[in-house]
Amino acid sequence: MNEELIKKLLTKFYDGEATDEDEKLLRALFSKVNCPAGSEAEWEYVRFCFFNSTVPEPSFDLEDRIERAIDESQNRLGSKKGNERYLIYFTGVAAAILLLFGTYFFIESRNRLIDTYTDPEIAYAETMKILMDVSARLNKGTAKLTPVSRLNAITEESMEMINHSSSVINKSLSKIDGVIKTTSLISKSDSGSVNK
């Protein structure tokens, strides 16, 4: 037997188109102990199909029972999908309501002022404690600015010295100015007496 015939018979067998004669021929070919050449992959399967008598024939209503089982499972799935839709819808509504209530209570709690101390003396003492802490921290921060304050003091001293020097110069200039005016008056008066 050649491989071409075996392949043709196997194709008919797998497609369900094999005649009784084709099956007898396949049974005869695969009943041998040695596998026909080129059909090693199908050998075990075909031998199982032809020589295993424990496989029962299906009942005449098998197809109807399978179709009913498929229909029942689809009906159950269909009703579950409807329930799932309602469940998803109500879950979304519940989440939105919870979000609204949570937002309302959050905003409401932030707007209310809460008195943390019932005794005014304790509240005053705590306030003073906090203010002293703030003051100490500010003083610590301004301590770093002492070189700047020294620079300001030196600048002010320098300005005072410049102002003092300029006032001394102004006084000296006013004296010189007075001397110049006097000498110019004297020179005018001398030139007037000379002309006479």
Q: Which residue type does 141 have? A: G
Give alpha helix (H) positions in 16-61: 20-30, 40-51
How many Cβ atoms sit within 10 Å of the Cβ of residue 42? 19
User: What's the confidence (pLDDT) of residue 127?
Assistant: 87
pLDDT digits (tens, 9 = 90+) for 50-61: 776 666 677 778
pLDDT computed for residue 171 by the predictor: 84
Give the pLDDT band of residue 112 (cuts 50, 70, 90): low
Contacts with 30 (C-beta within 8 Å, 6 or more apart), sequence order: 36, 43, 46, 47, 50
Over the stretch 19-48, which tens digit does the pLDDT of each residue have?
888 888 877 777 765 666 666 777 777 777
Residue 26 and residue 10 in contact, taking contact as beta carbons nearer than 8 Å:
yes
pLDDT in tens, 84-93: 777 888 888 9
Identify the residue with better confidence: 92 or 144: 92
Confidence of residue 98 (pLDDT cuts 50, 70, 90): very high
Judge contact between 30 and 10, C-beta under 8 A: no
Residue 29, phi then psi, degrees to nearest 5 = -65, -40
Q: Where are the domains of the chain?
A: 3-55, 58-114
